[in-house]
Amino acid sequence: MSPQPLVPPFAVITGAQVSDVLTGSEKQVVDLVEEVYRLHGREESVNPPSYFLRFPDRPSSRIIALPASVGGEKATDGLKWISSFPENVAAGIPRASAVLILNDHATGYPFACLESSIISASRTAASAALAADRLSAGRRPRRIGFIGTGLIARYIHHYLESTGWTFDELGVHDLSPAHADAFAGYLGDRPGDAPVVVHGTAEELIKESDLVVFATVAGAPHVHDPSWFAHNPLVLNVSLRDLAPEILLGATNVVDDVEHCLKADTSPHLTEQLTGNRDFIAGTLFDVLEGRVELPADRPVVFSPFGLGVLDIALGRYVHDQLRDAGDLGVVDGFFHELDRYGRSSAK
């Protein structure tokens, strides 16, 4: 008879611990994200469709479940459960909150619950930084503009800064002047002397930027004019729903995963509905990493990442293992109680 598989200890990992592990490890996180994209591209992962829990009485809010399994040397399964409640911002708390559950690949037992808003923001920012590096084809843009000025915009700037990007000018636009000014103040306090410009319109910012980052909560396209992109910028379409189909039809389009990205009324999904095909998609970021996508200089390049759960699982596992190796895991003793099929272990 084969020995009974060991049940892993269950740990709870706080946001403070996640932040401590990831701060200063930005380059390693970008490398990890690249590794996971390669695993996913080689079909060494399982990344089912995300499930959206929506509320008839709160149409702007949602909670999303992202189950995933990532292979490789540290194969791990799990689930990210992330909420987006835009009204939180007016109450003075972040829009998004999240937890991540990691499951043992051999037994299926959960072995960690992590605060995951920082993990989610970090993997999003690392993905954006990786894409910006590979899609700029060695010609890094010098003027960056942020449309939307929340946590994700801050993390993307931080990851670009931490991986060696410098800029001649930083632009900011937000529907809330107070939020735009606050983000501009944050950027102005960072190292370097690049001027920070608050733009009154999205059009003005786009035309003055070589790298445009969309990090909004827009539910439908609000940018429609292809002429705003006549200077062929690199666009990180992180929030996915800002750009109208006519913008994408005039661009070279790269996604993280075709099936995931072309759903839920994202800009690529709307473009597919309009054209009836997917010919406007040049390929995935994995294809770019493998050198299979041509990036012409005479068109805008738009990266639209739906956000893959495998990235969260891999980054959560990295945080867990760093804490475990340092002896800092907060293990919950006795979390799993019924560990004998017939109750013999608890018999008196």
The reply to whether 128 falls in a domain is no
| Sign of CA pseudo-dihedral 267, 79, 88, 176 | negative
pLDDT at 347 over 80: no
pLDDT tens readout for residues 76-95? 999 999 999 989 988 989 88
Asked if 330 and 258 sit in the same domain, the reply is no
**Structure tokens that stand for 123 in this block:** 């993997």
Asked if 143 and 245 sit in the same domain, the reply is yes
The reply to whether 158 falls in a domain is yes
Asked if 199 and 90 sit in the same domain, the reply is no
**CA–CA distance, 328 with 39 (Å, rounded to integer):** 29
Asked if 113 and 162 sit in the same domain, the reply is no
The reply to whether 80 falls in a domain is yes
Asked if 299 and 161 sit in the same domain, the reply is yes
Of 275, 219, 204, nearest to 246 by C-alpha is 275
CATH number, domain at 211?
A: 3.40.50.720
Of 27, 66, 46, 119, nearest to 320 by C-alpha is 119
Asked if 223 and 255 sit in the same domain, the reply is yes
pLDDT tens readout for residues 204-242? 999 999 999 999 989 899 999 999 999 999 999 999 999
pLDDT-based confidence at 5, cuts 50/70/90? low
pLDDT at 104 over 60: yes
pLDDT-based confidence at 119, cuts 50/70/90? very high
Burial label, 249 (beta-carbon count in 10 A; 0-12, 13-18, 19+):
middle
- Domain extent at residue 100: 11-119+309-346
Asked if 201 and 340 sit in the same domain, the reply is no
pLDDT of residue 348: 44
The reply to whether 180 falls in a domain is yes
**Structure tokens that stand for 86 in this block:** 């835009």
CATH number, domain at 104?
A: 3.30.1780.10
pLDDT-based confidence at 34, cuts 50/70/90? very high
The reply to whether 124 falls in a domain is no
pLDDT at 298 over 90: yes
Of 239, 246, 248, nearest to 218 by C-alpha is 239
Asked if 328 and 200 sit in the same domain, the reply is no
Asked if 195 and 58 sit in the same domain, the reply is no
| End position of a domain, from candidates 287, 304, 321 | 304
Asked if 292 and 327 sit in the same domain, the reply is no
pLDDT of residue 170: 98
Where is 121: in which H helix or E strand? helix 117-135
Asked if 181 and 296 sit in the same domain, the reply is yes
User: Given its phi and psi angles, is residue 68 left (phi above 0), alpha (psi -120 to 50 degrees) or beta?
Assistant: beta
**CA–CA distance, 170 with 193 (Å, rounded to integer):** 10
Average pLDDT over residues 193-202: 96
Is the pTM higher than 0.85? The answer reads yes
What percent of the chain is predicted at pLDDT more than 70?
97
Asked if 184 and 276 sit in the same domain, the reply is yes
The reply to whether 298 falls in a domain is yes
Domains in the chain: how many in total? 2
**Torsion, Cα of 132, 39, 158, 20 (10° steps):** -170
The reply to whether 20 falls in a domain is yes
The reply to whether 269 falls in a domain is yes
pLDDT tens readout for residues 226-284? 999 999 999 999 999 999 999 999 999 999 999 999 998 999 999 999 999 999 999 99
Question: How high is the mean pLDDT of the chain?
Answer: 94
Least confident segment among 2-6, 80-84, 112-116, 336-340: 2-6
Distance, C-alpha 277 to centroid of its chain:
26
